[in-house]
Structure 1
């Protein structure tokens, strides 16, 4: 659990056009609440408040994963090295149910988030956006390598069709290798999907917004959604 003597906890409930924040101070009535526009002006005003309260390195922020609405703020937090955590909505729901909280408004949601992160260890607060970028790049590089190898093997296979100088045994081994590459690529994609879902709780929200889009297709367009340079 955090040592709250010098740490400021902030819960953020974010929507498409605005976000509500709670500067945590224990019970609901003693916390400070504000609402800002979900744009650069809102981020600037939010940071003005944060700087007036504590040093940025002593602030911990919790955001609930809601589609990709939180991405611009998350990126802004990364840019200013403010430690934060992206909360899985299911985990937050179970916590609210456990605490027997009944009402639900934007203001209350920001309090629930702040209250939830008050029980977390300090090393829980990391830049999940940066981590997601690194994971995606790593897996994507593996997939690119497999695809490139597949292309070369297919070219080799095609050249062997009418080539009597290559033994049937070697032809069979090359075909088996190509099948193994296809299975390897499938396994890498499956592992990437599992990792993405863990590090990006909002993934399921994004997929539900894009009705009919398969995981493979969504993984392919993640760079466009998250501006990941690959």
Structure 2
């Protein structure tokens, strides 16, 4: 949306090809406002791409997005309609931009997840040996 008017309506693939297509369109707009739902694995790729290109964005919890858009009688849930309602929400009631953590902190968190998973796996395997 630009000034409350829908401009482009298309789907992108969740990979570099799709993200580069999106980046090309974003470069045509002054101060783009990007909003999307935090959908775990699927949104992390987009988030990493936006961070890499230093683009600010709003990443909404899906339940919060549903609550904030329910007033629009959003009954048919499709990705296309979700995107439109999120764009309208950001245009009419701007949401707070996501806090971008430092690369060091992101790396530390990723390494901590790996450590926690390895610790869990070790305990599980030790328990199997003792049975």
**Unaligned stretches of 5+ residues in structure 1:** 1-22, 142-216, 222-230
Change (3 A) 1:42 1:137: same
Q: Is the Cα contact below 8 Å between 1:60 and 1:125 reproduced in 2? A: no
Q: Flag the 1:84–1:93 CA change in 2: closer, same or farther, 3 A.
A: same
Q: Aligned pair in 2 of structure 1 residues 35, 102: CA closer, same or farther (>3 Å)?
A: same
CA distance in 1, matches of 2:115, 2:59: 19
- Summarize the Cα distance change of 1:78–1:136 in structure 2 as closer, same or farther, 3 Å threshold: closer
Q: Separation in 2 of the partners of 1:219 and 1:89?
A: 28
- Hey, which of these two has a bigger chunk of strand by percent? 1
Paired residue for 1:81, among 54, 76, 80?
Answer: 54
Residue of structure 2 equivalent to 1:106: 79
After superposition, residues 170-181 of structure 1 pair within 5 angstroms as: none
Offset of residue 218 of structure 1: 8.5
Q: Hey, what's the Cα distance between the residues in 1 that align with 2:22 and 2:57?
A: 15
Among candidates 91, 98, 107, match of residue 126 of structure 1: 98
Larger Rg: 1
Is the aligned partner of 1:26 residue 2:4? yes
Matching residue of 1:43? 19
Measured after TM superposition, the shift of residue 54 of structure 1 is 1.5
TM-score normalized by the length of structure 1? 0.43
Aligned counterpart, 2:116: 220
Q: 1:115 aligns with which of 88, 93, 96?
A: 88
Count of aligned pairs: 115
Helix, strand or coil at the partner of 1:85: strand
Extract unaligned runs of 5+ from structure 2. Answer: 118-131
Partner of 2:124: none
1:21-73 CA distances to partner (integer Å, 9 max, x unpaired)?
A: xx35536xx4421211111111111111111x224xx1121110112111111
Structure ranking higher on relative contact order (CA contacts 8 Å, 6+ apart): 2
- Verify the 8 A CA contact 1:83 1:125 in the aligned structure 2: yes
Tell me if structure 1 keeps the 8 A contact 2:69–2:86: no
- Could you tell me how far 1:126 is from its partner in structure 2? 3.3
TM-score (norm 2): 0.70
